[in-house]
Chains A and B, each alone.
Chain A
Amino acid sequence: MRTVLLTGLSFVLTGAVIGNAYYQKKQFYPSVVYITKSNPSMAMLYIQAFVFVILMGKLMRKVFFGQLRPAEMEHLIERSWYAVTETCLAFTVFRDDFSPRFVALFTILLFLKCFHWLAEDRIDYMERSPIISLLFHLRAITLITLLGILDLYFINHAYYSTLVKGASVQLVFGFEYAILLTVLFMAFVKYILHTLDAQNENPWENKAVYLLYTELVLGFIKVVLYLAFMMIMIKVHTFPLFAIRPMYLSLRGFKKALHDVIMSRRAIRNMNTLYPDATPEELQAGDHTCIICREDMLEFSKKLPCNHIFHTSCLRSWFQRQQTCPTCRMDVLQAPRPQQVPQTPPPQQQQPPQQPQMPQNLFQGFAGMPPIPGWPPQQPVQQPGTSGASTTGTPATPTTPNAPGSGTHTVSATGTHPSTTWPTAVPNMPPFMPPMFPFVMPYGGQGMPLPPTRPEGLTDEELKNMEGQERQNVEARIQWLRDIQCLLDGAMILIQQYNTVASQSSIPNINLSGTPSNNTPTDTNNASSSSREKSKESSPVVNNDRDLVKDLSDLEGATGYTAYRRNDTHLGRSNTRRT
């Protein structure tokens, strides 16, 4: 209402000014001269021109956008304020060229800027609305073409006038329109991508990636344009204060685009290398709705180390922001190597039936001691040699076994030897440990280590993992060494058990060291010292292990880690029992 009133008023006043001039001079030329000579009349005409510009803007808006949404309006007003402030700053730099023409050029620039912003917002809106009408397409295409032509025309004009007349305010316009052209181009690319996407029946997974790269390239162009503009302005005029804010914004935008692209690449790489594709069985087994997009997962889905399954594309866009599992928030980068998961299950599934048999066969025949209540599975190890070992009931601390080779363990007849090297073997345990516990316990908490695959049994992929200098390769090698160490420890346990049994049935012991000795304590000493030496030799491995242990402490809640912790506490308990 107020705008209508003001517009009407300005028309009335203009009419009055012109009418007055014509009334006084009666002729066209004298009245024109009269108006241009009179300051109030000119002021009135300038205001009228301004009103015309606004009316024109409204008309254009009606033609190209229809009704503006509140968010668009808000956006527009906010940006306009900044633009007006910057224009005023620019006036101070070019106060020498100040003229009505100059003001008019700036007004046109501002006017076109507004339309660029609106076009940008409108194209973004495409993604939000389920209904995109034909009218929308028509408007978008004509608007983008029109704005593109205008931008090019003004850039061209600025370029030639700078060539002919030397550096002037046209420099600013040239750069401004070049920037606007990049904005427009971005909107155009988005429009094309959205339209293509809308035509597709299936979701288009790579759209986000294309958008990221377009943003990166255009961000780079913008930054280069602004830097060039800064340089030229400093050389020709003075420091362009008015360009600082947009320049900072474009720098920040570029940095963000770069970051996004890097994160996206990393996510894609992890996706391709680290996480296995979910098999149809796995998808059928559970709820096969992707929790990110709430749609069915029929194909293209990945399984994380925590066994949660998502769409590949959904995961990619999430990992671009954060490297955790959306469901359980497990840090997927810190997780144990997932290649292990498909590799280890076969030997494991075979082992449980074997494991309980051996100790039972061994000990049930020899030692007829009654089982200690509460710890029935564990006592066979203790019975033969350490019948005198007191069972202290102190609570276990999971950290005790984390000090390899500390030598504080009292050397009892059995049992202490592998505890020194145990922690290195622990992270090797895959997340399937909990169900194995009943079977593991007959060994006094240290389960028979899983036999690692033999070198000739390595797949090409695993071998490739061990080559090279990168962290992943080094980790793969360390893992391999750990597997070997684990196997050695297992062998030590077996020898130990053989010895304890043998000592009772007066069969000659297996001598672990070169010197002949028959008592088991020395053997265990040797065993532990040799394993200690080993851990010294591979000290980087041990260090790495500690890091790993530290890292693992962040993984509370993850399946693999709980298994590890439970294993650990259990181990601690068995240790205290032994000492």
Chain B
Amino acid sequence: MAGSALRRLMAEYKQLTLNPPEGIIAGPVNEENFFEWEALIMGPENTCFEGGVFPARLAFPPDYPLNPPKMKFTCELFHPNIYPDGRVCISILHAPGDDPMGYESSAERWSPVQSVEKILLSVVSMLAEPNDESAANVDAAKTWRENRMKFEEIAAKTVRKSLGI
């Protein structure tokens, strides 16, 4: 019998293939290694990211689901909650336990109840509603807050780039 992490990932993969949530495609990069996933996330409708398709990588720890995976966009994305190198900064991706900075309560953080689907859905909602309170990309947060026009312009550019136009 394979490890519990592997079994859970396989179950989640099956679930995601059978009932894919709207605007999200995800699966292992290579079926020999279920701990590296690739996901395609569509920009949510009625937002400045609408129409874009953004690829991301998910790297699962060996003790998944006890610890959260790491998620990184492999395309350029100018967003307050995405680090310039593509790493995603959302609270459910943070390891369980209390935040040493006291910023997030432990209730927002990772727990084995979460799943890949929930992560990706949170990312979609993060794309739709950036949280400029805790910025991973300060420039993006500043632009979002002060110059929405410019932010939307940059977003439109990334959308076009993500589609290869």
Interface residues of A (CB under 8 A from B): 69, 71, 124-125, 127-131, 194, 197-198, 200-204, 291-295, 313-314, 317-318, 321-322, 324, 326-327, 329
Contact = CB atoms under 8 A, between A and B. Distances in A.
27 contacts: A125-B33, A127-B2, A127-B5, A127-B6, A129-B32, A129-B33, A129-B34, A130-B34, A131-B31, A197-B1, A198-B2, A203-B1, A203-B7, A292-B8, A292-B66, A293-B4, A293-B7, A293-B8, A294-B12, A313-B4, A314-B4, A318-B66, A318-B112, A321-B97, A322-B97, A324-B111, A329-B106
B164 interface: no
B3 interface: yes
B1 A295 contact: no
Contacts of A293: 4, 7-8, 65
Contact of A197 (B3, B31, B63, B67): B3
B21 interface: no
B11 A295 contact: yes
B111 A130 contact: no
B1 A204 contact: yes
Contact of A131 (B15, B32, B67, B106): B32
B1 A202 contact: yes
Contacts of A198: 1-2
A430 B31 CA distance: 49
A326 B113 contact: yes
A69 B1 contact: no
Contacts of A294: 8, 11-12, 15
Contacts of A329: 106-107, 111
A128 B111 contact: no
A383 B35 CA distance: 70
Interface string B39-64: 00000000000000000000000110
A201 B1 contact: yes
Contacts of A313: 4
B96 interface: yes
Nearest to B63: A317
Contacts of A124: 62
A318 B32 CA distance: 27
B24 interface: no
A295 B4 CA distance: 10
Interface centre among B6, B33, B35, B111 (most CB of A within 10 A): B111
A198 B5 CA distance: 13
A294 B117 CA distance: 13
Contacts of A200: 1
Interface string B11-35: 1100100000000000000011111
